[in-house]
Structure 1
Amino acid sequence: MAISGSTKGGFGPITQLAGMRGLMADPSGRIIDLPIRSHFREGLTALEYFISTHGARKGLADTALRTADAGYLTRRLVDVAQDMIINRTDCGTEAGIWVRRSEDVAGQTVYERILGRCAASDIYDPETGELIVARNGMIDEEVGQKIQDSKIQEVHVRSPMTCALIHGICALCYGRDLGRGEMVEIGMAVGIIAAQSIGEPGTQLTLRTFHTGGTAQAAGDITSGLPRVEEIFEARKKPKGEAVMTDIGGTLRLIKREGVRIALVIDSEVTNEEHDIPAGWTVNVADEADIQAGTILALNEDTGEKIVARMMGRVHLEDGKVFIRYERREEEEYPIPSSGRLLPGIEDGMQVYPGQQLTEGSKSPHRILRVNGADATALYLLSEVQKVYRSQGVNIADKHFEIIIRKMLSRVQITRSGDSTLLPGELIDRLQLINMNDELIAEGKEPASGVPILLGVTKAALSTDSFLSASSFQHTIRVLAGAAIEGKVDRLYGLKENVIIGKLIPAGTGFHTYQDRELVAPHTSLELQGALDADAETDDFDRDDEDSRDRGDDD
């Protein structure tokens, strides 16, 4: 009954009743060495009883404290996503995300990940050549099962993360309304739905320790449950138990220096160039000399012909031939903490790729963004947060997380102003920058360049274009003073701004009054505009750590 019933049954409670209680965790979360060998049926010894009281206290304290944390997380998510409204049927973008069988997003099948989405391009069966679904077609249960059963390895689907609308999202990028099972309607406040869908089960994550009574869980990550979800959404610079990861690709050497383990990655490349020197020609370079590309190697003084080096390197002269050898070598050292355990399969002498994880733990999303780019960062954030929820038996659709991740990755930090009015270090929405650059390029001017940055939900909510929304969230005086100094204008695109001034919200039945808004959909990217500075160093965004538990006005 306990196992097959639909209540919180399972093998866990059965083992505690009839097997042994097992290992327990102390108040700080560390596992106590002494396991409880008795089970509840036979009864616990006095010492075992006292060990298990740690768990009982932890369960009750968690219930009281963490419920407030879950509510606060919901508030931050609502604040960051409240202006995400379905504003158009189609934004016209050809971009999308690739859902691959090889990628493990918390154990979901391809069918689960693509159900209720629209195809970003025509999808054909690779064996028969038959068209399964056309571009912009809805992937329903029947189509999804066809794709799952076929040999298709990757599916190109539309996603809220790649929608080209500057304000809100279009219906095709969102897909099916999960409440009705049909295509989402224009005017739906999908941001609020996403925030509540993620925040409400947060209370279940916190109360999980209550059900197991503080039993120690075997987990690879140091943090799990709600603290891990918060760590992901706040995009912490240094997550707890940060994993060692590589910045460059190459050969891995595991060495020990002064008692410290070091992972050394060596990226080397050797290129050679060879030239035959005809008889009677004058050699223009000395043996073992270092030269640059374009250096004249040999010259025919009669005709003026010359042989030019195509690359830089060191010259070697031998038997009427000129050899140029160039060796590029790059090394990076990564100290491995004494507590850090190497991942299975990480061995001395193996080839590693940029961004590869070497030790157990959580990767820093900021480093992934710098090394592997925005797409890899979005996939990492999505899979990590899904792992936490799915490990607790909570199934949430990917699209809810994608709306939040879109807001976290929406900003670009300006590195070069070009001919724009922007200043280096300024934050601007990526789609607005693309739009601005299109106008500059059309006028024959130099576009502004920027580097993508990752903001936690608190900072993303405070850096929104609406000062009314930001001031009603946190740091009211600072936000209003800043808006007054800059002479900001609030266009009232979101829900909170309109509620504050007493207008009808631009969602649901009130949406038609906002239909005349110009919502430009850019059809290019920063890469195509040559305005993406991948290597530029970004400022540190911990000006004031808004991750602190500011529940309102700190000023």
Structure 2
Amino acid sequence: MQRLKGKTGRFRGNLSGKRTEYTGRTVISPDPNLRITEVAIPVLMARVLTYPERVSYHNIEKLRQCIRNGPNKHPGANFIIQSDGTKLHLKYADRRIAARDLKHGCVVERHLEDGDIVLFNRGPSLHRMSIMSHRARIIPWRTLRFNESVCNPYNADFDGDEMNLHVPQTEEARTEAFMLMGVQNNLCTSKNGEILVASTQDFLTSSFLVTRKDTFYDRSYFTLLCSYLGDAMENIDLPTPALIKPIEIWTGKQLFSVLIRPNACTKVFLNLTVEEKIYMKLKERDKKAITVLEETMCPNDGFVYFRNSELLCGQVGKKTLGNGNNEGMFPVLIRDYNSHAAASCMNCLAKFSARFIGNHGFSIGVDDVQPGESLNQKKKITIDEGYEKCHELIALYSKGDLIPQPGCNRAQTLESQISCLLNKLRETAGDDCMSTLHWRNSPLIMSQCGSKGSPINISQMVVCVGQQSVGGRRAPNGFIDRTLPHFPINSKTPAAKGFVANSFYTGLTATEFFFHTMGGREGLVDTAVKTAETGYMSRRLMKGLEDLSVFYDQTVRNASGGIVQFVYGDDGMDPVKMEGKGGRPLNLDQLFMKVMATCPQRGHDTLSPELILQMLNDKLSGQDASSGGCSDKFKEMLRKFFEDRIKMLRSTWRALQLDEDRVGKRDSSIEERVAADISGISAKQLQVFLDTCLSRYHSKIIEAGASIGAIGAQSIGEPGTQMTLKTFHFAGVASMNVTLGVPRIKEIINAVKKISTPIITTELLSEQDELFAAKVKCSIEKVVLGEVAAAIKIVLRSNQPHLVVELDMQRTERYMGISSDTVQLSILNDPKIKLKSEHVRVIDETKLRIYPTGTDKSKLQLELHNLKSMLPKLIVKGISTVERAVVNPVLRRDGTFDRYNLLVEGTNLLKVLGTPGVDAKRTKSNHILEVNKTLGIEAARRSIIDEIRYTFENNNMMIDLRHMMLLADLMTYKGEILGITAGGIAKMKSSVLMLSSFERASEHLFNASYAGREDQIEGVSECIIMGIPKQLGTGILKVRQRLQDLPEFKYQPDPILL
């Protein structure tokens, strides 16, 4: 059994994964002159790695030359396999005779040559884009090289990383690798449809510098830059100069127009608007006393606008050219044209950027982060003012005058307010720093274009490092009531609790350096622990979801044919092809802008709003939309889009005081024609737009055989490696923590019975009334007698000893509705105390007497002491499983007040829903098993989806909802919640081989042999172990031919030729 189990056992070490031949591994290096689809392979490696090519009429002379060259000269060959199967080693054979005797049908194991398909991989393989196919390019030297644009999917850098190379050995394998795994077909990630293969670092910096609005070039330099775009193989039409007198000069923006559309034969018309990182919003402009302009007129030139492949305005950066979005230049090129157009632009931009920045020069030094005298003065004033405010708060706390925040005590309130002050202090210092830097400052340029760094990094280098946090809080007391021996006992000043006022340029003091190492160490430990946690989580997800695929009837089934979803993601769309935000299939605004630009209004009558809606309804009720499979949600989205366009149309005409019926007609006035050109829609434009929408929608339907289970597992597992392990503060409530990050994802997919921070978000029937919220809070929150009792005394009398409970009137008023009668009722109902009504007497509003039940005088004193110890813990009001409830003011996105709700820390959703004043329809819990118990399996499924999405969004990670829906459906499709654990997967699947390859191999094998179970070999793991094709992807198809009853084929002349 020892040989079977574990990572190095037979199942995991030899059957599920094997060591392979025809592989290579070495260090990687960058080469911007290579295409993104290419990988440079050293000649040394190419001579060892071979491909078995069959001899035919077309390649016999080439292969004879390879044989003559032999194994030591590239391009050569190592072996010949004759038709009878004998193998000839060319190192020892006479190569001239072997080349002469070569016949058709033989197989020559030749060296790798330019254009061969190879698989390129970097471990850890966290998602499917960690292994892709490239075309080989045989080059001298000893490292594997590729274009830097392809670093993101591999998560590769060039600080000593090594990568692996695999050479497919059959034509079928090469074809599948090229079509399914090719870089050009995997530019976007299946996690959320965002572009992943895109420009990075130096490429972004070069583009940012070239497209500045004050950058001009004369003819000689502009043509030189145009020549950088390629390898002197392209025809380039020079655009019209931006300025003609006194000399012809071109702008840097025109260079981008040449990049996208180098000549008139290139039919690529890019239409795009992007708000870059340096885009200044209207509110920010108002602060800087700039008049309110249109959104397109950004003073920083941050609004990028391409119209018909011409860059009209904007300084391009990461949002336009980089990865991590689906609204930039490359995603739009992929959608509007094809991946070849995007790849071609990437190749040209990489070559241009590397050559331009090499000549232009770009470096960073100590001088770039040296603060000026005025900045030092500003920083000193800012920090002195911030420290003064902190000392005032500490003084208030010491006197006991600090007013606590809702749900917090005074110490927690002090920490919350000081942390807030210190964070604002660093932000203010950072803003001062950014405003004083010259626009040519290298760190500033890199931060603005998104190539590297952020304003926080720059402000830490120049002015102030800021607060160092440990576990999400200020530095804890490590010694006796202080952080370090250098500070007084119980000191809460910023310097004593980890605030670093110095910058990296000025250098840190000894105590500041120590606090900084505390914060850094936490990051290192967090990363190390996280790797193991998320790795195991990803493996479990993959094992649970691996055999789910889409069938031809659009259902999602497992290997044994059990239905998990009737339609994938409720709409059957492929996540990798999504264009809009939030997993929407189309970005209608961008598509409409393209149609308006490429299909002009001129010469066509403008449609009235009624005609627009009529044409839309006719199209949506036609065969393409109804029988073609457009979802009702998509139709509603189209209708909503046109309703908004019509509102804009009417408001434009109303503002210009034009007649609705005359706008856009052939005999209309100049004003009416201008209005029609600005906002009107012609019949042709509407037809083209609707046809494009419907065809694109149908092209985004997921293909049958797609292994969505494996993709979903990777899409949830891979971002988990970037998540944190910390527990976060709940929004606005300093003392209420909520588990997020990796621990929360583990809780959800493990379906644990007792979660670490159960919280019920309770919505109220009267959500604007704070007093009403406080009343409901008092009904829910657990109150024990010890919190409201002023005293609990034992009164020893000779005739009748008893307990006296005195209530504190101020406390009972605060908790609303607690009186002597309610306390009496609670005592009588408590099963542990076991008293009857004659033993508990109410004296007045604030006093009760409790008599012991026993008659034995020797035991009376013991019974009284037991009662005295139990009574403070007696629950007199609220729900026993609720620790506390906090009234939470919910804010809108703009920071204004929206409503009140309650954050209830604890369980028992059923009692909370039954509390008067609670809106049961909108109240929800983050405890999934409790939701299942209270509201049923469908509510639990919805809760799983919402909780996973909330956890990822808190880490600023966007994952397509369809992946979460698939996981939730798998966990609930059996009618109960099954965790993705060894026990849960055993209930989902019955395959012995699959379960043995996961965990507890010996246990599963013994049980199966004892019960005489059979394995149908249907799932992915079983097929890999047995070495047979699996029933998903290209393996879902079977080609068969009916041999009997075939119709007789009659040769007839082709009627078309006649």
Instruction: Choose the corresponding residue for 1:385, options 919, 926, 948.
Output: 948
Q: Which residue of 2 aligns with 1:512?
A: 1037
Amino acid at match of 2:468: M
CA distance in 1, matches of 2:1011, 2:1017: 17
Instruction: Choose the corresponding residue for 1:376, options 920, 939, 955.
Output: 939
Instruction: Choose the corresponding residue for 1:112, options 582, 586, 599.
Output: 582
Is 2:576 the counterpart of 1:79? no
Amino acid at match of 1:498: C
CA contact (8 A) 1:492 1:498 kept: yes
Q: Which residue of 2 aligns with 1:468?
A: 993
Structure 2 unaligned segments of length 5 or more: list them.
Answer: 1-444, 476-491, 557-564, 572-577, 587-612, 645-695, 732-736, 767-774, 789-814, 818-876, 890-899, 903-914, 1041-1058
CA distance in 1, matches of 2:627, 2:749: 32
Q: Which residue of 2 aligns with 1:350?
A: 917
SS of 2:448's equivalent in the other structure is coil
Shift of 1:37: 4.6
SS of 2:934's equivalent in the other structure is helix
Shift of 1:473: 0.5
CA distance in 1, matches of 2:707, 2:979: 22
Q: RMSD of the TM alignment (CA)?
A: 4.6
State how 1:47-196 maps to structure 2 within 5 Å.
Answer: 47-91=511-555, 112-115=582-585, 130=617, 131=620, 134=626, 137-138=629-630, 146=638, 149=641, 182-196=700-714
Q: Which residue of 1 aligns with 2:416?
A: none
CA contact (8 A) 1:87 1:187 kept: yes
Amino acid at match of 2:457: P
Amino acid at match of 2:1029: L
SS of 1:254's equivalent in the other structure is helix
Instruction: Choose the corresponding residue for 1:400, options 952, 963, 972.
Output: 963
- Deviation string 1:404-435 (CA, Å, 9 cap, x unpaired) is 222111223xxxxxxxxxxxxxxxxxxxxxxx
Q: Which residue of 1 aligns with 2:424?
A: none
Shift of 1:378: 2.4
Q: TM-score, normalising length from structure 2? A: 0.29
Instruction: Choose the corresponding residue for 1:363, options 921, 926, 931.
Output: 926
CA distance in 2, matches of 1:469, 1:260: 56
Q: TM-score, normalising length from structure 1? A: 0.53
**CA distance 1:343–1:192, shift in 2 (3 Å):** same
CA contact (8 A) 1:244 1:334 kept: no
Shift of 1:395: 2.3
State how 1:516-531 maps to structure 2 within 5 Å.
Answer: none
Is 2:1008 the counterpart of 1:483? yes
SS of 1:201's equivalent in the other structure is helix
Shift of 1:25: 3.0
Shift of 1:23: 3.7
**CA distance 1:22–1:71, shift in 2 (3 Å):** same
Q: Which residue of 2 aligns with 1:258?
A: 785
**CA distance 1:252–1:25, shift in 2 (3 Å):** same
Instruction: Choose the corresponding residue for 2:743, options 227, 232, 254.
Output: 227
Amino acid at match of 1:336: V
SS of 2:554's equivalent in the other structure is coil
Q: Which residue of 1 aligns with 2:40?
A: none
Shift of 1:263: 12
CA distance in 1, matches of 2:1013, 2:1039: 21
CA distance in 2, matches of 1:142, 1:95: 15
CA contact (8 A) 1:86 1:189 kept: yes
CA distance in 2, matches of 1:97, 1:7: 35
The alignment-based identity, stated in percent, is 24
**CA distance 1:15–1:236, shift in 2 (3 Å):** farther
Q: Which residue of 1 aligns with 2:39?
A: none
SS of 1:497's equivalent in the other structure is helix
SS of 1:69's equivalent in the other structure is helix
Shift of 1:501: 2.2
Shift of 1:374: 2.7
CA distance in 2, matches of 1:47, 1:469: 55
Shift of 1:57: 0.8
Shift of 1:148: 5.9
CA contact (8 A) 1:244 1:336 kept: no
**CA distance 1:218–1:232, shift in 2 (3 Å):** same
**CA distance 1:343–1:109, shift in 2 (3 Å):** farther
Q: Which residue of 1 aligns with 2:905?
A: none
**CA distance 1:139–1:98, shift in 2 (3 Å):** closer
Shift of 1:141: 12
Q: Which residue of 2 aligns with 1:213?
A: none
CA distance in 1, matches of 2:927, 2:1026: 40
**CA distance 1:51–1:114, shift in 2 (3 Å):** same
CA contact (8 A) 1:235 1:454 kept: yes
Is 2:501 the counterpart of 1:38? yes
**CA distance 1:242–1:198, shift in 2 (3 Å):** same
CA contact (8 A) 2:728 2:739 kept: no
Count of aligned pairs = 354
CA contact (8 A) 1:242 1:364 kept: yes
Shift of 1:367: 0.8
SS of 2:778's equivalent in the other structure is strand
- Deviation string 1:300-332 (CA, Å, 9 cap, x unpaired) is xxxxxxxxxxxxxxxxxxxxxxxxxxxxxxx98
- Larger relative contact order (Cα-Cα within 8 Å, sequence gap ≥ 6): 1
- Deviation string 1:19-72 (CA, Å, 9 cap, x unpaired) is 64444333x555436251514244433222212211111122223332222222
Shift of 1:110: 9.1
CA contact (8 A) 1:253 1:263 kept: no
CA contact (8 A) 1:110 1:148 kept: no
SS of 2:959's equivalent in the other structure is coil
Q: Which residue of 1 aligns with 2:722?
A: 204
CA distance in 2, matches of 1:455, 1:487: 27
Amino acid at match of 2:1035: G
Q: Which residue of 2 aligns with 1:453?
A: 977
Q: Which residue of 2 aligns with 1:4?
A: 448
CA contact (8 A) 2:554 2:704 kept: no
SS of 1:337's equivalent in the other structure is strand
Instruction: Choose the corresponding residue for 1:333, options 879, 889, 894.
Output: 879
Shift of 1:2: 4.8
- Deviation string 1:329-372 (CA, Å, 9 cap, x unpaired) is xx98244326x644442479633417835xxxx72111112222
Is 2:1021 the counterpart of 1:496? yes
Amino acid at match of 1:460: G
**CA distance 1:217–1:486, shift in 2 (3 Å):** same
Amino acid at match of 2:954: S
CA contact (8 A) 2:750 2:980 kept: yes
- Deviation string 1:448-475 (CA, Å, 9 cap, x unpaired) is xxxx334345433232222221121012
SS of 1:4's equivalent in the other structure is helix
Amino acid at match of 1:188: A
Which structure is higher in helix share?
2
Tell which deviates more after alignment, 395-404 or 346-355: 346-355
CA distance in 1, matches of 2:1017, 2:499: 60
